[in-house]
Amino acid sequence: MRALFSYGIAFLILVLAGIWLGTGTLVMGGNGPGKGERPIISVIEGEEHGPIATQLAESGVLAEHKTEHAVDPHLTIAQRNEQQLGANTQLQSVRTSTYVAKPMPIEVPLRGRTRAKASVSAVAETAGVVDTVHVTKGQNVAVGDLLCTLDQGTRAAAVAQAKAGLEQANASLAQAQSDFDTNAELRQKGLAAPNTARQLEVALSAAKAAISSAQAGLDNAQAELDRTEVRAKVAGVVEDPLATAGSMLGMGQPCATIVQLDPMVFIGQVPEARIGLAKLDLPAKISTITGQEVNGKVTFISSTADPATRSFPVEIEMPNAGGAIRDGITATATVNMGTAPAHLLPQSVLTLNDDGVLGVSSVVDNVVKFLPVTIASDTREGVWVLGLPVSVDVITVGQEYVTDGQTVDATNVPAEATNVTAS
């Protein structure tokens, strides 16, 4: 009896275990997620929804087989891990500032030298021996100052003779005028024949012509005498060559050379890439190697490039009161050629991408976008760059930790606050 009881209990346990397994799920690998899971009773019956499986399902004892998955079954394991990591990782926080394009002054630096406005030779207009030299080298002279005096020779006597001839002509004119007037009165009274007037009119005209000739002779003699005094035609500084007393000067030979230092001229070269911006009367600032600074303006732009440097010579005229700036001094000039739209950025926002291209990291709809730039000018206030949109949100803090195309958590702050923080 005891053995029969034991076998009965074992059989009952076996039946209950079979029922419990029949209500479970069989998982078969190799078919992908959700495709290898089937109820055990369906395997036994050989079909998906047999009568026993249906009866067990209606009674609520058959395990429900759900094939819904949180992960797309078509993703690879690496893609699932990346998706899960992205869902669990917090977005990188960055700080941005909005920068708007501003007019950037286009300043072109030039290297060159100073040059006197002109170097004028005060030449003798007549030949003669130098009697006196009234100036010395390095002396400042004004227009009309006496430089040299030549020996007058017979020129003074010629002037005196011409004056005497003019006085004689005046006397002859007075006599001819008196004779004409007397004849006119006599003809009016009928005491002189009418045909006598013609002869007196001819004599009066000849007397007037003699006056003109005598005056011209006096003017020529006086001009020849005045030519013995060589005077400055321009203001400046006396330089070599300078005549010496007792030397013979021919017509056209210099008594002295005057270097005109006011205004002074700066001579430089404009690169061919910037020549299209060059215009006359553009303002410029000139700094000499001796520490002098003065403002000027462009007065000449060459139409022909230097064949060696492919640059165009220009001249900038500047005031030089008192001749403080000397001729031939090395100098630099900064020419303001107008403005162009650009962005003034802190130097700290500039970065390089993986290809070594210089640019800035911006944020568009919370996505990082790398924008290449070209540096136009580097100033104390920041770096002027070209190549950006009119308005752009530039990452000012955290650009080292993000990549192009990455989604970030961006916080925008005013550009002024960014500059204060960076300084």
Q: Which residue has the tokens 């060696």?
A: 308
Does residue 196 or residue 359 have the better pLDDT? 359
- In sequence order, the β-bridge partners of residue 116 are 264
pLDDT-derived band at 421 (thresholds 50, 70, 90) equals very low
Band (235; pLDDT cuts 50, 70, 90) = confident
What burial class does residue 124 get, using C-beta atoms within 10 Å of its C-beta: 0-12 exposed, 13-18 middle, 19+ buried? buried
Question: Each residue of 174-203: pLDDT tens digit?
Answer: 888 888 888 888 878 777 777 777 888 888
Mean pLDDT of 386-395: 92
Half-sphere exposure of 227 (CA within 13 A, CB side): 22
pLDDT at 417: 45
Task: Please give the mean pLDDT across all residues of the chain.
Answer: 82
Distances (CA, A) of 362 to 21, 297, 377, 401: 61, 41, 21, 13
According to DSSP, residue 199 is labeled H
According to the model, what pLDDT value does residue 90 have?
Answer: 74
CATH number for the domain formed by residue range(s) 152-227: 1.10.287
C-alpha angle with apex 392: 387 to 396, nearest 5 degrees? 100
Q: Which two tokens stand for residue 29?
A: 């690998």
Q: Could you tell me the sign of the dihedral formed by the alpha carbons of 402, 408, 414, 417, in that order?
A: negative
* Closest among 331, 344, 341, 335 to 384, alpha carbons compared: 344
User: 197-226 and 155-189 helices cross at what angle (nearest 10)?
Assistant: 160
pLDDT of residue 57: 64
Distance CA 227, CA 332 (A): 44
Contact 382, 343 (CB under 8 A): no
Domain spanning 92-102+341-422, CATH class: mainly beta
pLDDT of residue 323: 83
Would you place residue 377 in the very low, low, confident or very high pLDDT band (cuts 50, 70, 90)?
Answer: confident
17-36 tens-digit pLDDT: 555 555 555 555 555 555 55
Stretch 384-413: mean pLDDT: 90
pLDDT at residue 115 is higher than 50: yes
- Domain map of the chain by residue range? 1-89, 92-102+341-422, 152-227
Task: Write the pLDDT tens digit of every residue in 281-290.
Answer: 999 999 999 9
Question: Which of 49-58, 98-107, 171-180, 312-321 has the least mean pLDDT?
Answer: 49-58
Rounded to whole angstroms, the Cα distance separating 376 from 100 reads 16
pLDDT, residue 58, reads 63
Contact 174, 212 (CB under 8 A): no
User: What residue type is 269 in one-letter code?
Assistant: Q
Distance (Å, whole) CA 87 – CA 73? 17
For the residues 330-354, what does the mean pLDDT come to?
Answer: 89
- How far from chain centre, in Å, is Cα 356? 27
- What pLDDT does residue 418 have? 46
For the stretch 279-315, pLDDT in tens is: 899 999 999 999 999 999 999 999 999 999 899 999 9
**H and E: helices and strands count for the chain:** 7, 22
**pLDDT higher than threshold 50 for residue 384:** yes
CB 402 within 8 A of CB 94: yes
- The answer to pTM > 0.75 is no
Residue-level pLDDT at 349:
92
E strand intervals along 205-274: 229-231, 236-239, 248-249, 254-271
